[in-house]
Structure 1
């Protein structure tokens, strides 16, 4: 078992430690609950409708609505397409890189 506390300073340190642990746990819960509390923030950032998305060509990631639709379609039906599906997935993966090299 633990030893009894010998002085009030030990007790104060223990209380501070418990407070810090509780605050850390509260911050972790808050951090991990954000995607559950606001699920459309991440989606709007991906699609490009978010307020933090910059529409200049230098920061454009190439993830337009058509690109996202193609990625979803290949994720769902790519295995059925065989080698063509593999090539299409490779093309979608390399497209942003080729676009950046072009600019």
Structure 2
């Protein structure tokens, strides 16, 4: 006595599973596209803030902009080194700002 392979309940569950997988893949694509989109927005904001005073944006020189673009393009491929470079690029303006503050206080 075998039962049918696909009942309407199992078919509905399979359709729901496929729908959930498609949604998961869509969310993954959005998540992985953010690092590529974020540095471009960051560079745009750097260019618009160039007209403001340099005190508000320490360390936003051409080297930092170039490093941001390189990491945006090749950061994932570099693996652990890319992660460390992203952290260093994030911390660089903070360290540079601290150095300028110390120089002003002396």
Q: Shorter-chain TM-score: which interval?
A: 0.3 to 0.5
Taking structure 1 as the reference length, what is the TM-score of the superposition? 0.47
The TM-score with structure 2 as length reference comes to: 0.46
